[in-house]
Amino acid sequence: MYSTDAQNKLEDLSGIVLKPGENPYEAFIQACDNKPEQIQALYHAHRTKRNSLQKEKFLSQDYKELIIDQYLLRLENPSIEPGFRDERNCLVIWARPPNHVIELAAKIQTLLQQASPKIWLMPTHRMHLTTLEIAFSKTPEEIGSLVSILRPAAPSIASYTHTHRSRLVKPMVSYDLSAFALSFLPACGEPPLSPAPVAPDTPVNGPVTQGDDYTYHHLRRDVFDKVKEAGLEVGSRYQVPSAHITLGRYLTDDDHDTPEKRERWVKAIDDINAWLENEVWDQKAAQFIGEWIVGQEKGLDVRNGALWYGGGRTIVLGEGF
């Protein structure tokens, strides 16, 4: 059985070429001269180029079919293969969205389901942002040995966002032939919108690093280094400039099997993105908050198991603010 990743590779469309052996996040930061405006611009370029390419695929006369996730299909419909289990075990570090981001994501899921009733939606309690993928598609025993090495460093990694606070802004729906997500950009001078940290907010591990000069890409760079310092090699599938939480996937072609249905789907996404840009981005009085300070409410989630659809187990969850 094939993985959707094999058919639908998430390519880096930022234009940056990485050298073997270096921290890919540090290379990206240096290529941007450590300037948040350039980092934001390349995140923006990646997601807009990708959406444009995917829109062409949906509307093309050569369109064939969606890329249905065969693992998820069997998990959701056990009659296809009774007793099926997803054996792809992983080790990751996730960021969990705060409540106001979950509320926004749930609203967008509702709007998308109106355009395509048969889509599969990620349960809101499983929503996550992959800060670092350490290992994927291993056996439980292989993952267990990696966890043993990481375990002494895991608490400090998980609580790293308590003193290193990066900000994400400008949410937008990104999509392809297999899934759709809510993607964000690293902040660069946008007005602050998030609720204040829950008192008392007194970090015990030194001063707080915050402000838009410390971007989400800096956080990813630091977490990458900390995992390597703990003794693990990072085996990520990709390190693209993307900060996204999966909203859902397709389980059937029924809602997309005619040009008219595909046009309706693309238009729904375009309309949602226009609403986000006009009514949510940078809006202090908006119904929904379009900003996320990573680590708010919960620290990083060091997690392993069959994680593909938000599952697995937490090894350690860091302190939030």
Listed by start position, the domains of the chain span 22-317
Least confident of 10-24, 72-86, 108-122: 10-24
Report pLDDT digits (tens) over 224-258. 999 999 999 998 776 789 999 999 999 999 999 99
pLDDT score for 6: 47
Q: Is the pLDDT of residue 186 over 80?
A: yes
pLDDT score for 105: 98
Buried b (16+ CB within 10 A) or exposed e, 255-288: bbeeeebbeebbebbeebbeebeeebbebeeeeb
In sequence order, the 6+-apart residues with CB closer than 8 A to the CB of 301 are: 93, 94, 95, 96, 128, 158, 314, 317, 318
In sequence order, the 6+-apart residues with CB closer than 8 A to the CB of 140 are: 89, 305
Nearest alpha-carbon partner for 225 in 149, 289, 134: 134
Both tokens of residue 308? 């593909």
- On the 0-12 / 13-18 / 19+ scale of CB atoms within 10 A, 102 is middle
Q: Is the pLDDT of residue 32 over 70?
A: yes
pLDDT score for 236: 79
Report pLDDT digits (tens) over 117-126. 999 999 999 9
Q: What is the mean pLDDT of residues 15-32?
A: 82
pLDDT score for 11: 54
pLDDT score for 15: 59
In sequence order, the 6+-apart residues with CB closer than 8 A to the CB of 81 are: 74
Are the C-beta atoms of residues 145 and 135 closer than 8 Å to each other? Answer: no
End-to-end CA distance of the chain: 42
Phi, psi (rounded to 5 degrees) for 50: -65, -45
- pTM over 0.75? The answer is yes
Helix (H) or strand (E) holding 148: helix 140-150
Q: Is the pLDDT of residue 292 over 80?
A: yes
Are the C-beta atoms of residues 317 and 298 closer than 8 Å to each other? Answer: yes
Phi, psi (rounded to 5 degrees) for 269: -65, -45
What is the rounded CA–CA span in Å between residue 24 and residue 18?
6
What is the rounded CA–CA span in Å between residue 177 and residue 4?
9
Nearest alpha-carbon partner for 209 in 200, 220, 198, 218: 218
pLDDT confidence bin for 80, thresholds 50/70/90? very high
Q: Which amino acid, 287?
A: Q
What is the rounded CA–CA span in Å between residue 12 and residue 24?
12
Query: 169: which strand partners?
Result: 185, 291
Helix, strand or coil, per DSSP, at residue 57: helix
DSSP class of residue 164? Answer: B
Q: Is the pLDDT of residue 9 over 80?
A: no
Report pLDDT digits (tens) over 198-223. 888 887 777 999 999 999 999 999 99
The C-alpha R_g of the chain, in whole angstroms, comes to 19
Average pLDDT, the chain: 93
pLDDT confidence bin for 104, thresholds 50/70/90? very high
pLDDT score for 228: 96
Are the C-beta atoms of residues 69 and 177 closer than 8 Å to each other? Answer: no
CATH architecture of 22-317: Alpha-Beta Complex (3.90)
